[in-house]
Amino acid sequence: MKIFEFLKKNYKLYLINSVLAVLIYYTSKIYDLTNHATSCVHVLLTPLDKLVPFIPQFIIIYNSLEPIIYITLLFFFLFHPRIFTPLAISFISLFLVSNFVYVVFQTYVPRPNITYGANYFINQVVKLYSSDNPYNCFPSLHCGTAALVSSVWFVKKKYRIIAYLISIWAILIILSTQFLKQHVIADIIGAPLAIGIFLIFYNVFNLEQEY
């Protein structure tokens, strides 16, 4: 009975969030359109980046991003529609801002020369490289979306333990972008960018009431 009352009370919000969910999907696909070389491509590699080792085992952590994003979005869509709204708008804003940067300031990250067949982890990295061009690096959407997922779990106090665990996971995601040579250190700016965007909409939608 309580479920039906909840749905009745929030059905308009669910309709709005359904539209936002579709927009998340389509704005995420803009990445595929901008992930290529342009007339002016920048390389932000520094001497410090050259000291970062290549650790293919981090591919497992790197590949965990998508399922965690889907689980988080689905959870807040179903059980906390009022929180989902600013979360969705934050995702959409992050995708739009990042892709705008890719268009006006395209970047490239040099990758190690590896071949398929060495071991399972190397094979997975080769698959990653073949499916994702070495462009659209600054800011890192992998870092940004991981930080965004981490941030939303802090909204409600009862999820604080989950929030801390997801934060540790997000840090590992950021590290994985470095150890897999998908990004350089400068690209990590995607994380604070995402947190900043979420904080804006956190305040706009007065999510303190959800604490």
Sorted by sequence, the CB contacts under 8 Å of residue 205 that are 6+ apart come out as 82, 85, 86
The pLDDT tens digits for 119-177 are: 999 999 999 999 999 999 999 999 999 999 999 999 999 999 999 999 999 999 999 99
Classified as helix, coil or strand, 107 is strand
pLDDT of residue 188: 99
How far is residue 159 from each of residues 67, 73, 89, 151, 166, measured CA to CA in Å?
19, 15, 21, 11, 10
Using CA atoms, how far apart are residues 34 and 32, in angstroms rounded to an integer?
6
Of the pLDDT bands very low, low, confident and very high (cuts 50, 70, 90), residue 8 is confident
pLDDT of residue 1: 53
The pLDDT tens digits for 19-35 are: 999 999 999 999 999 99
Q: Which two tokens stand for residue 187?
A: 């690209």
Using CA atoms, how far apart are residues 112 and 179, in angstroms rounded to an integer?
11
Q: Taking Cα atoms as reference points, which of 50, 70, 58 lies closest to residue 174?
A: 58
CB 128 within 8 A of CB 62: yes
| Amino acid (1-letter code) at residue 186 | A
* pTM higher than the cut 0.75: yes
Of the pLDDT bands very low, low, confident and very high (cuts 50, 70, 90), residue 199 is very high
How far is residue 202 from each of residues 46, 51, 70, measured CA to CA in Å?
35, 38, 20
Mean pLDDT of the chain: 97
